[in-house]
Amino acid sequence: MHIFNKKQALTQFLKQVKQKQKTIGFVPTMGALHKGHLSLIKKAKAKNNIVVVSIFVNPTQFDNVEDLNQYPKTLVKDLDLLKSVACDVVFTPSVSEIYNTNISAKKFNFDGLEHQMEGKFRDGHFNGVGTIVKALFEIVKPNKAYFGEKDFQQLQIIKKMVKKNNLPVKIKGCAIFREPDGLAMSSRNTRLTEAYRNAAPFIYKTLKKAKKKFGTENATKITAWVTKKFKKHPLLELEYFTIAEEKTLETAITKEKNKKYRAFIAVFAGKIRLIDNIRLK
Ligand code: PAF
């Protein structure tokens, strides 16, 4: 496994890979890797000659300094995990290697996708995501890049960015990987206390019930039901629940036959913010 922390050394290496007509699959991460990340890497390995994983905790996508400082950093363990799935190349740049001295995000227009859900609660988050993902694409020049559907809004925004900028990369969305009790895998789960960890599967249980209700009840009614359920919960605090159309991410008022919908949720388990979603139709 080749490990690089400088852009120039990585691009030189990847240039040779490209010259041999080999394809590059790319999995961008912020480290603290778990089985969900490994499943993306396995998918990338199956469809490309070389897999590049980046580990970079991107400061410009955090709207909260405490969250950035507390973000788990487990590089030694991450590298062991990456070796175990035969990852080919790891890129672990420093903040100055990526941003030089100007640690700020560029402004993007994602045709309104950025104003829904996470965009309402995490100021500037998607400008930060767009900035880093575009920068990494320019460095790695992958044929395909893999993102988990847990961050479904992020996935749609990256697809939009690729389309609007004609970037030569195919974006692949991969199904959410869950713990046996249903909790969506996330690097943030390791920061949950035992009580919050035990409570957290309630999120997916509620999503599954909402999915069942979607067959017979309208989105407004289901949203009210979920809100009430969380109001009664002793530990978990609902930030938002919304049923939205997959393409526009706009809240669904009525159901239309040829459209696909998902239920999206963000919940505070103490100070830890967890998100999840489920396909409805
Ligand atoms: O999903 C993540 O881990 C991050 O948002 C990403 C895509 C690696 C960009 O920093």
pLDDT at 183 over 80: yes
Alpha-carbon distance 187 to 185, whole Å?
7
Average pLDDT over residues 43-71: 97
**Coarse DSSP helix, strand, coil percentages of the chain, rounded to the nearest 5 percent:** 45, 20, 35
DSSP secondary structure, 69-88, as one string: HHS---HHHHHHHHHHTT--
CATH topology classification for 2-174: Rossmann fold (3.40.50)
Q: How large a percentage of the chain has pLDDT more than 90? A: 98
Which of 78, 95, 126, 133 for a ligand 1 pocket mutation test, highest count of atoms within 8 Å of Cβ?
Answer: 133
pLDDT at 103: 97
Q: Which of 2, 37, 115, 233 is catalytic?
A: 37
pLDDT grade, residue 90 (50/70/90)? very high
Question: Is the CB of 186 inside a 6 Å radius of any atom of ligand 1?
Answer: no
Q: Which atom of ligand 1 is nearest to the CA of 28?
A: 8
**Radius of gyration for the alpha carbons in the chain, expressed in angstroms and rounded:** 19
Average pLDDT over residues 252-276: 95
Average pLDDT over residues 207-217: 97
User: Which residue's C-alpha comes closest to atom 3 of ligand 1?
Assistant: 29
Give the number of other Cβ atoms within 10 Å of residue 29's Cβ.
23
**Using one digit for the tens of pLDDT, what is the confidence trace for 131-147?**
999 999 999 999 999 99
User: Which residue's C-alpha comes closest to atom 9 of ligand 1?
Assistant: 129
CA angle 6, 8, 10 (to 5 degrees): 70
pLDDT at 281 over 80: no
Contacts (Cβ under 8 Å, ≥6 apart) of 225: 210, 213, 217
What is this structure's pTM?
A: 0.97
Alpha-carbon distance 61 to 124, whole Å?
7
pLDDT grade, residue 253 (50/70/90)? confident
- Ordered by start, the domain boundaries in the chain are 2-174, 187-280
Q: Is 37 annotated as catalytic?
A: yes
**57: its two tokens:** 């905790």
pLDDT grade, residue 192 (50/70/90)? very high
Alpha-carbon distance 71 to 85, whole Å?
24
Alpha-carbon distance 275 to 265, whole Å?
6
**Using one digit for the tens of pLDDT, what is the confidence trace for 112-169?**
999 999 999 999 999 999 999 999 999 999 999 999 999 999 999 999 999 999 999 9
Q: How large a percentage of the chain has pLDDT more than 70? A: 100
pLDDT at 144: 98
Strands 261-269 vs 236-245: parallel, antiparallel or unpaired: antiparallel
Q: Which CATH superfamily is domain 187-280 in?
A: Pantoate-beta-alanine ligase, C-terminal domain (3.30.1300.10)
Tokens 């070389």 sit on residue: 50
Contacts (Cβ under 8 Å, ≥6 apart) of 206: 226, 229, 230, 265
